Every structure is written in structure tokens, then in C-alpha cells.
Amino acid sequence: MSAPRTEADGQASWSVPVQVVRSPGGIDAWLIEDHSVPVLALAFAFAGGAALDPPGQEGRAALLASLLTEGAGPYDTAAYASLLRERGVTLAFEADRDGLKGTLRCLVEEGAFAAEMLALALAEPRFDQAAMERARAQRLLALRREAEQPPAVASRRWWAEAFPSHPFARPVGGTEPGVSAIDRAALLSAREAQMRRGSLVVAAAGAVGADALGRFLDRAFAASLADGNAEPIPAVPEPRRFALAVVELDAPQATGVFGHIALPPEDPAWEAAQIANWILGGGGFSSRLMTEVREKRGLTYGIGTGLLPFRGRGLVLGSVATDNARFGETLAVLREEWGKIASVGPTEEEVEAGKAFLTGSFPLGFTSTAQIASTLVGLRQLERAPDWLAGRIARLAAISVEEVREASRRLFDPAALSVVVAGRPTL
Amino acid sequence: MTEIERRRLLAGLPAAAALAASPALAPATSARPVYGAETFRLANGLQGVVIPMRRAPVVAHMVWYRVGGADEPPGLSGMAHFLEHLMFKGTPKIGPGQFSRRIAREGGRDNAFTGHDYTAYFQQVAADRLELVMGMEADRMANILLDPKDIEPERQVILEERLQIVENNPRSRFRERLAASFYLNHPYGRPIIGWEHEIRAIPREALLEFHRRHYGPGNAILVVQGDVTTERVARLAEATYGAVPASARVDRRRPQDPPHDSERRLVLRDHRVREPSLARLYPAPHAHASVEMSDALEVLSHLLGSGPASLMWKALVDPGLAASAAASYGGDSVDPSEFALYANPRPGVAPQTLEAALDELLARLLADGVTEAEVARSLREIVAKSVFARDSLMGGARTIGAALAVDLPLEYVEFWPSRIASVTAQQVTEAARAVLRRDASLTGWLVPAEARA
């Protein structure tokens, strides 16, 4: 990746070769090796996350994630943090809806130290009483601040409406009663439930070869995790369609969250659907929604949509904010555009623009070590093949206008568009 | 060139300080430049900076104008930011709304941002599209249209932006009100996005005049980071920006604050808020006044408010008074700004209990001074982070652009880690005693509507 090139052959000769590494101890990882900076980044994920929070303990995975770096083995919170910071190691965990993610970044020369500190966090987190109370207070404060924010309020309600009988209905960050109910035993069972060798996926990027990465992986993971798999998450059902829901909130501007089911990431038309989404709402200032709602009418600072992939299930989800008095107009334009792209489909020019952006911007996703590792682990969570990236540009280039129109018809359904608004909108 | 020499003098002694780095830290802090940036200048005044980085065949291209919210005439707050939005509305060559579409069509991303001291525009594209984006950026530097039919919808967009980022968020409103109270006369007290009634009143003629006066090559800095050579960037810059007529560097003379000599309080009651927040602001010198003092304040801010080993953590978070605490300071501004402390009480802790504990900590710090061990730990933490500076496409361009746009020299950024590593405990103690003066401070509380503070 870092070999010298001339101006002329730059783009053509560039590629992202993914190595599949197996450590002596049997830990698998994907690796993109790149020696342009002496940095190693690791991203990993355990299947589970907030979906394993038991009813009444909403926020368990989120608290677990924050406490994994709050002291481990012989080190209390301050000692553990100082050791990492003084040697330039960053380590963080985060709970997602369906996974517990970790990221680590360090200088290559600190790799052995970083791996041992990670192993300690995985194997011997302390969950000291003081640290637990601190993390709980921080989480409660964050929840009370979220309740001040229309986008957070609208999003919570959308998931609750769309998945009434699935753990996805519950907020990743938890609820006040849920967070208040979590004790040390609950954290230990959260760890037990998901931090297992069989439910781990790992990816790495940076100035490290396969052998050195193998040693790192064994230091970090081989002896620090219990065997076996995470408790399974119930399959994600089709999101429920629902009529417009308004959450009354005293705010001058109303925020809408809207969406419905999408093709699953396993569908052969997934990438055509990505192009269709780019055209309607994913393409920033190039998208139809930004043009119609922001540029032409000045109704919002921003409107956008994205495709959310889960194993076996896709969603298309968007958001917009408009002052209360004009929110009805925003909603009318949104529904009209949603209907238009579903029935008429995109133009040839729009499809070409979408393909040109998605292929041309592909290398921009490979400019920082941490970003590369996170991209790789995301692909592993979706069970993509290791050559998925290498074939990405050719696959996108081969998609026809008709395929994108077909994907638009399958993707967008104005009758299914389910909207939550937080604020005091005039509708 | 005399100007650059003068700025070097003003900015102090980076090279000498670099060599004086503490031997214990030598491996991490040898006086090598962080980015290894190279510079050139065109005949029309445009300053160019190039940061070669060969990881992927892409570049980040930025143009920084030495103008921001603090340079607006009174009564027209938000104009620098308004103009930033309108720069995407076309020229005789590129139709309204087509700028970003064209960049996307070429596989690129683009955006812009406005600060109190600068306005910056950027694109991230394949290296072979660099000339194209330079041509487009040079075009709108010289030939903006500002069609009245594009201005009015965009004014609505900005009013929506203000609702979204300020009015809809009690914590942002609090920060806006704090700044407005803190600065006695300096325009840093005005919100960058502008006050609503002034956004509504900005006329087209004022926008055109603002563009004509500030958007010339002599007032701009070009920064390119990525898979390029300086020779190529200079050649392409000559072919694109080189065609823009020369312009002068604009002198920035803003109204300055008189000495702060009173202890003030601000209480913002908001019925949307359930948990209070505390802020404490002190006037602080900037790097132009003294790089040595500014570096010491940066270390002080880390030592006080960064991470679980910091003093505010130990005094406020550990004993259960605060859920979080932080300190903030940046010396890279055109005029002096502030040193700030923030803390959020744990649910159930009375605001006055937290504030008293903070004051006790500060009193102890000023009486006893900071310890060698605390400073050594802070220096190791700060310097350890700096090795990751090159691990992103645009990080270097952003850091260097922001420094040059406030008239600090390139060396200020390039030798920052080695300079910081030479800060002593005595310097930090002296900086704390000079700046953390209660009789010049503003204490702010954001509280639920029914509460008292």
C-alpha cells in the first residue's frame, strides 16, 4: 500500500489486500498491513450487546462497556488509566444494539504492553464499588440529558414502536430504573453472557505483519476469555409499521425520525440498494431530500437517511429537524419524495452519480489505522468474505440502472414509512 | 517576509525550547517536526502548505481565510458563517447547488466550517482530482454570485441550524450565554452562528463587501495533505489560484476587553433541564503573548481536568461530588481568550457543595503549587498522544491551517511536543497563579427552572 507510485498509476494500482491471520493459539483476525505510520489498531466485537440486557436491567451492556476500562487486575481506575495514557495506548469499549465493541490503538513498539493491558481488562475487570457508582451516576446523568434532546427522544420512541416484542425496543443506553437496578452480580453475568471466545470477531490494521499480530492476539485473547459462545439474540423481526407518533417536548424545533424495513445485507441487491439510498437521502448535498427540503425550501439544516445492516435484517432510517410551525411542510415533502422514488425510481444520471461517488470515494475510507480496523470488524460482524472489499469497486461498477430502479422499488415503501416526531409540531 | 519574522519573535522560542527537552523523555520528543510540512508562496500572496502522506491515493485540500465571526461589523453577527453557506451557491461557471454535487460526482467529499478567527473550505478527493478541486475553489474565491433568490432560502436554513444546534439544546444555550457574559467588549462574546435578529437582518450588499474584502489570495492559506509532492501542488496552485488577482493581507484589529476586575455570576434557568452544570471561566493569555505561558496553561489544563489521574477527578469525581469534570484551554487564537473549568454534580449533590469543593481545590493548588510528579505525568500523557498526529487524512491539515490562520508560525505546530515536554512545574504553578484569579472570573450555573444556585 505504501510503495512509491507515479501520478499516472496512483488509483489503478491501489488495493486493500485483506490477510486472514490465525494466531498459534487459534484466534482469527483480518488484517490490512500498512507501514506508513508506526501504529497498530485493533477492533473487535462480541455478539450480544444491549440485546442481552434482561428486562429490568436496561443499560447493563452500556455499564459493562464503561467499567471494563475502570480498573483491572492490580490496578484501580486511576492507575489503569494512567498506565495506558502515559504509553499512548487508547482502549475503549462500547455497547451496540447487537454487540459489545472494543477498539485499541497504540504504537507498534508498545504492542506487547497494550495486549497485556487488554487481556487484563477482559479477564480481570475489577468492577470496584466506587467505580460502579461513578459509572452509574454518569449514565443516569447522560440519560437525563438525553431526555432534554428531541433527536434522542424521537429515536428511542422509534425503536420502541418498531420492535414491540424484541430487545431492540429497549434503548442501548438503558433506562433510569434499569441502570439503578444493576449490581456487581449483574455485570458479572453480562460479561459471562457475551465475552466469550466463540462470539469474538477481531480485525487489525497498521504496521504489523501476520506473525507479530498472531503473538499480539494470543497475548490479548488466548487466556483471557471463557470458551463457548454468547447467548443467542432472538432473530430481528420485521419492524412494525406504525402511524405518526408525536412525543410532546418543549422545544422550538421538532425532530422527526422515520424509516421502515430494508433489504437485508445478505440480499444480492444490497449494493444496488446502497446506491438507491444515496440518491434519496444518503448522498448529503447530492441527495433528493437535501435538495427538496433544505436547498429549495429552507425547511431544515439537515435531512438524511441511512441503511442499517443487522444479520438477516436491514432497516432504512432517517432524521430531520424543522421549527415546529413548519414541520408539517417538511413531512409532506418527505412523504412525496419517498413515494416518487418508490414509484418512478431514479434517473440514469442519478445512478451514474451515485456509482461514481461510491466507487471514487472508496479509498477515502482507508486513511486512518483505527478507521480501517473498524471497517474490517464491521464486515466480519456481517459475515462478509475476506475478498468483499477487494471486489467492491468492480461490483458497484457493474450495477445497472435497472438494478438500482428495482432496488428502489423494493427498498422504499411510502405506505410503510413510520414516523416519530419529538417537539410541538404543527402537522 | 518581515511580517513572518515579527511573528516568530512574538511567538517566542520554539527551536531553543525543543533542544532543551528533558532527557528522560528524549525518545518520544526528539525535535523532529510532527508533520514535516513544506511551504511556498504565490506572487498574488497565497500561502501554500503541503503535508505529504502516501497511505492511499487521496488528498485533503483546504483553503483557510483569515476571517471569522470576530471580524464582523457590529450588528451583523453570523455574517462570516452566512457567507460560508453562500459560497456553495454558485459562480458564473458553477450553478447554484452544483459545487458539492460536482465534488461527489468525482468521488469526493466536501464541506466548510467557520470559527471566530477563520473560515475554512475543504474537499477530500482522489489525488488525480486535485487540480479540479483547486480550480473550483479558486473560482469561488474570485467569482461568487450571491443571487438574491439563493440568499433567502439559505437564511431560513441558517435559522433552522441555529434552532438545532443552540435553541433546541439547553447546554449549547448555556455556552452561548456564558461567552456573551464573559467577554466585556471583545467579539469572541458573539456567537459564530449569530444572534437570531441579526441573522435576519444581514443584507446582500454587506455579504458581497465582506467577501470582496476578506476572500483574496493574500488573506488565504492553502493546505494540501496526502499523496502529493510540494512541487506538484505548487505547480497546480500556480495554474489555478495563480490566476486570481493579488490581494492584501487584511489587518485584524478587533475591540479588546478592558482588564477583567470583577467576580461575576451567571445563572441560566431552563425548565427543560433536570441536572445542573457548572462552568468557571478565567481570562487567559494566548500564544501570541507568550508561547511559554500558553504551553504552561495547556499542561495546567491537562493536569487539572484530563482523566482519572487529574486533580479535578481526585477532588470532585472520586469523592462522589461530580459525575464528570474537565478543563479546557487553547492558546491558538488571534486575541486572548479563556481558561475554563467544567463540572457536573452527581445526581443529588447540591450545586454549592460542588462549587465549594472546586474552590477548595483551586485554593490549595495556588497555595502549594503543582508537584513535579503531576507535571511529569501530564507531559508523558500529552506527548504520548502526539505520535498519532499523522494517522489521519486531514488531521495535519486542520491543525496547521488553524495555527497559520491565527498568524502563528508553522514551527508552533511542528515542534509542539518537544516544546510542551520542556514545561516545568514552576512554570505551571506560575501560570496557575497568574490566571486562576477569582476576582477576574465568571462562574456560571445551568439549573432547572425551579432551582436556586
Q: Is residue B441 part of a domain?
A: yes
Instruction: Report residue B408: phi and psi, to 5°.
Output: -90, 150
Give chain B's domain count: 2
A139's CB contacts (< 8 A; 6+ apart) are A59, A62, A63, A66, A173, A174, A179
| pLDDT beyond 70 at A301 | yes
Question: For chains A and B, what is the number of CB pairs under 8 angstroms?
Answer: 204
Q: Are residues A218 and A254 in the same domain?
A: no
B275/A145 touch (CB, cutoff 8 Å), yes or no: yes
Q: What is the CATH number of the domain that holds B328?
A: 3.30.830.10
Q: With contacts defined as CB-CB under 8 Å, which chain A residues touch B421?
A: none
B57/A5 touch (CB, cutoff 8 Å), yes or no: yes
Q: Is residue A129 part of a domain?
A: yes
Residue B144: domain span: 32-243
Tens digits of per-residue pLDDT, A255-300?
A: 999 999 999 999 999 999 999 999 999 999 999 999 999 999 999 9
Q: Are residues A180 and A261 in the same domain?
A: no
Q: Give the per-residue pLDDT at A296.
A: 95
Three-class secondary structure of residue B178 per DSSP: helix
Q: Give the separation between CA A201 and CA A187, rounded to whole angstroms.
A: 21
Q: Are residues B182 and B222 in the same domain?
A: yes
Q: Is residue B192 part of a domain?
A: yes
Q: Is residue B400 part of a domain?
A: no
Last residue of a domain, one of A164, A191, A222: A222
From the list A34, A107, A322, which residue is nearest B387 (CB)? A107
Q: Are residues B86 and B223 in the same domain?
A: yes
Q: Are residues B74 and B172 in the same domain?
A: yes
A357/B308 touch (CB, cutoff 8 Å), yes or no: no
Q: With contacts defined as CB-CB under 8 Å, which chain B residues touch A140?
A: 323, 347
Q: Are residues A210 and A88 in the same domain?
A: yes
Cell 429537524, residue located: A321
> Do B423 and B14 contact (CB within 8 A), yes or no?
no
Give the residue among B391, B366, B431 at the shortest CA–CA distance from A90: B391
From the list B55, B128, B159, which residue is nearest A367 (CB)? B55
Q: Give the per-residue pLDDT at A105.
A: 97
Q: Is residue B111 part of a domain?
A: yes
B156/A1 touch (CB, cutoff 8 Å), yes or no: no
Q: Give the per-residue pLDDT at B385.
A: 86
Cell 491515493, residue located: B57
Q: Give the separation between CA A88 and CA B384, rounded to whole angstroms.
A: 5
Q: With contacts defined as CB-CB under 8 Å, which chain B residues touch A285?
A: 88, 97, 100-101, 104
Counting residues of chain B whose pLDDT is more than 70, the rounded percentage is 93
Q: Is residue B249 part of a domain?
A: no
Q: Is residue B399 part of a domain?
A: no
Residue of A nearest to B52 (CA): A36
Number of H helices, E strands in chain A: 16, 11
Q: What burial class does residue B205 get, using C-beta atoms within 10 Å of its C-beta: 0-12 exposed, 13-18 middle, 19+ buried?
A: exposed
Q: Are residues B188 and B85 in the same domain?
A: yes
Q: Are residues B231 and B336 in the same domain?
A: no
Residue A313: domain span: 245-423
Give the residue among A174, A194, A166 at the shortest CA–CA distance from A49: A194
B307/A81 touch (CB, cutoff 8 Å), yes or no: yes
Q: What is the mean pLDDT of residues B153-179?
A: 97
Q: With contacts defined as CB-CB under 8 Å, which chain A residues touch B86?
A: none
Tens digits of per-residue pLDDT, A212-233?
A: 999 999 999 999 999 999 889 9
Please, which pLDDT band fits residue B387 given cuts at 50, 70 and 90?
confident
From the list A5, A87, A298, which residue is nearest B157 (CB)? A298
Start-end of H helices in B216-287: 230-240
Residue of B nearest to A176 (CA): B347
- As a whole number, the mean pLDDT across chain A is 95
Q: Is residue A296 part of a domain?
A: yes
A36/B53 touch (CB, cutoff 8 Å), yes or no: yes
Q: Are residues B233 and B281 in the same domain?
A: no
Q: With contacts defined as CB-CB under 8 Å, which chain A residues touch B391?
A: 37, 39, 368-370
Q: Give the separation between CA B85 and CA B145, rounded to whole angstroms.
A: 13
Last residue of a domain, one of B214, B243, B272: B243
Q: Is residue A312 part of a domain?
A: yes
Strands A303-310 and A418-423: unpaired
CB under 8 Å, gap of 24 or more: what pairs does B31-35 form?
B31/B415, B31/B418, B33/B414, B33/B415, B34/B386, B34/B389, B34/B390, B34/B396, B34/B413, B34/B414, B34/B415, B34/B416, B34/B417, B35/B389, B35/B390, B35/B396, B35/B399, B35/B400, B35/B413, B35/B414
| pLDDT beyond 80 at A353 | yes
Mutation target to probe the A interface, by most A beta carbons within 10 A, among B55, B133, B272 is B55
Last residue of a domain, one of A191, A222, A253: A222
Q: Are residues A182 and A282 in the same domain?
A: no
Q: What is the CATH number of the domain that holds A314?
A: 3.30.830.10
Q: With contacts defined as CB-CB under 8 Å, which chain A residues touch B388?
A: 37, 39, 88, 105
Q: With contacts defined as CB-CB under 8 Å, which chain A residues touch B155?
A: 298
| pLDDT beyond 80 at B1 | no
Tens digits of per-residue pLDDT, B37-96?
A: 999 999 999 999 999 998 899 999 999 999 999 999 999 999 999 999 999 999 999 998
Mutation target to probe the B interface, by most B beta carbons within 10 A, among A2, A11, A13 is A11
Q: Is residue A36 part of a domain?
A: yes
Q: Are residues B318 and B234 in the same domain?
A: no
Q: What is the mean pLDDT of residues B275-288?
A: 98
For residue A139, how many other CB atoms are within 10 A of its CB? 22
Dihedral sign, Cα of residue A262, residue A268, residue A271, residue A275: negative
Q: What is the mean pLDDT of residues A140-145?
A: 96
Q: With contacts defined as CB-CB under 8 Å, which chain B residues touch A297?
A: 153, 156
Q: Are residues B61 and B186 in the same domain?
A: yes
> Do A92 and A68 contact (CB within 8 A), yes or no?
no
B58/A82 touch (CB, cutoff 8 Å), yes or no: no
Fill in the amino acid letter for B25: L
Q: Give the per-residue pLDDT at A259.
A: 98
Residue of A nearest to B125 (CA): A361
A281's CB contacts (< 8 A; 6+ apart) are A287, A288, A289, A290, A303, A304, A305, A306, A318
Three-class secondary structure of residue B265 per DSSP: strand
Give one DSSP letter per residue of A64-95, joined into a string: HHHHTTS-BTTB-HHHHHHHHHHTT-EEEEEE
Q: Is residue B250 part of a domain?
A: no
Q: Is residue A236 part of a domain?
A: no
Q: Are residues B220 and B285 in the same domain?
A: no
Q: Is residue A7 part of a domain?
A: no
Q: Are residues B45 and B171 in the same domain?
A: yes
Q: What is the mean pLDDT of residues A1-22?
A: 63
| pLDDT beyond 90 at B98 | yes
Q: Are residues A252 and A216 in the same domain?
A: no
Q: Is residue A271 part of a domain?
A: yes
User: Residue B399: how many CA atoms within 13 Å on its side-chain side?
Assistant: 23
Q: What is the ipTM of this complex?
A: 0.94
Please, which pLDDT band fits residue A13 given cuts at 50, 70 and 90?
low
Q: Is residue B352 part of a domain?
A: yes
Residue of B nearest to A1 (CA): B55
Q: Give the separation between CA A316 and CA A258, rounded to whole angstroms.
A: 8
Q: Are residues A50 and A141 in the same domain?
A: yes
Give chain A's domain count: 2
Tens digits of per-residue pLDDT, A147-205?
A: 999 999 999 999 999 999 999 999 999 999 999 999 999 999 999 999 999 999 999 99
Residue of A nearest to B111 (CA): A285
A145/B308 touch (CB, cutoff 8 Å), yes or no: no
A300/B160 touch (CB, cutoff 8 Å), yes or no: yes
> Do A106 and A88 contact (CB within 8 A), yes or no?
yes
Q: Are residues A266 and A314 in the same domain?
A: yes
Last residue of a domain, one of A222, A257, A285: A222
A367/B58 touch (CB, cutoff 8 Å), yes or no: yes
Start-end of H helices in B190-254: 196-199, 204-214, 230-240
Mutation target to probe the A interface, by most A beta carbons within 10 A, among B174, B199, B342, B391 is B391
Q: Are residues A118 and A253 in the same domain?
A: no
Q: Give the per-residue pLDDT at B453.
A: 55
Residue of A nearest to B53 (CA): A36
Q: Give the per-residue pLDDT at A218.
A: 98
- Distances from the Cα of A334 to the Cα of A253, A305, A339, A342, B389, angstroms: 17, 11, 9, 12, 41
Tens digits of per-residue pLDDT, A377-399?
A: 999 999 999 999 999 999 999 99
Tens digits of per-residue pLDDT, B112-137?
A: 999 999 999 999 999 999 999 999 99
Q: Give the per-residue pLDDT at A14.
A: 80
Instruction: Report residue A139: phi and psi, to 5°.
Output: -65, -40
Q: Is B285 left (phi over 0), alpha (psi -120 to 50) or beta?
A: beta
Residue of B nearest to A353 (CA): B105
Cell 505548487, residue located: B234
Q: Are residues A133 and A252 in the same domain?
A: no
Q: Which residues, in sequence order, are bridge partners of residue A32?
A: A205
| pLDDT beyond 60 at A254 | yes
Q: Are residues B239 and B278 in the same domain?
A: no
Q: What is the mean pLDDT of residues A110-121?
A: 98
Q: Are residues B186 and B104 in the same domain?
A: yes
B106/A360 touch (CB, cutoff 8 Å), yes or no: yes
Please, which pLDDT band fits residue B13 given cuts at 50, 70 and 90?
very low
Q: What is the mean pLDDT of residues B325-351?
A: 97
Tens digits of per-residue pLDDT, B175-229?
A: 999 999 999 999 999 999 999 999 999 999 999 999 999 999 999 999 999 999 9
Fill in the amino acid letter for A292: E
Q: What burial class does residue A352 get, using C-beta atoms within 10 Å of its C-beta: 0-12 exposed, 13-18 middle, 19+ buried?
A: middle
Q: Give the separation between CA A17 and CA A3, rounded to whole angstroms.
A: 14
pTM summary value: 0.93
Q: What is the mean pLDDT of residues A301-325?
A: 97
Q: With contacts defined as CB-CB under 8 Å, which chain B residues touch A362?
A: 107
Give one DSSP letter per residue of B24-36, joined into a string: GGHHHH-S--SS-
A300/B388 touch (CB, cutoff 8 Å), yes or no: no
Q: Are residues A217 and A258 in the same domain?
A: no
| pLDDT beyond 60 at A140 | yes
Taking chain A, what is the end-to-end CA distance rounded to the nearest angstrom?
54
Q: Is residue A178 part of a domain?
A: yes
Nearest-CA distance A14 → chain B (Å): 7
- The set of cell numbers assigned to B126 is 482522489
Nearest-CA distance B391 → chain A (Å): 5
Give one DSSP letter per residue of A99-143, joined into a string: EEEEEEEEEGGGHHHHHHHHHHHHH-B---HHHHHHHHHHHHHHH
From the list B54, B97, B169, which residue is nearest A149 (CB)? B169
Q: Are residues A255 and A217 in the same domain?
A: no
As a 3-state breakdown, chain B gives helix, strand, coil percent values, each rounded to 5, of 45, 15, 35
Annotated active-site positions of B, please? 84
Q: Give the separation between CA B128 and CA B105, rounded to whole angstroms.
A: 14
Q: Are residues A56 and A175 in the same domain?
A: yes
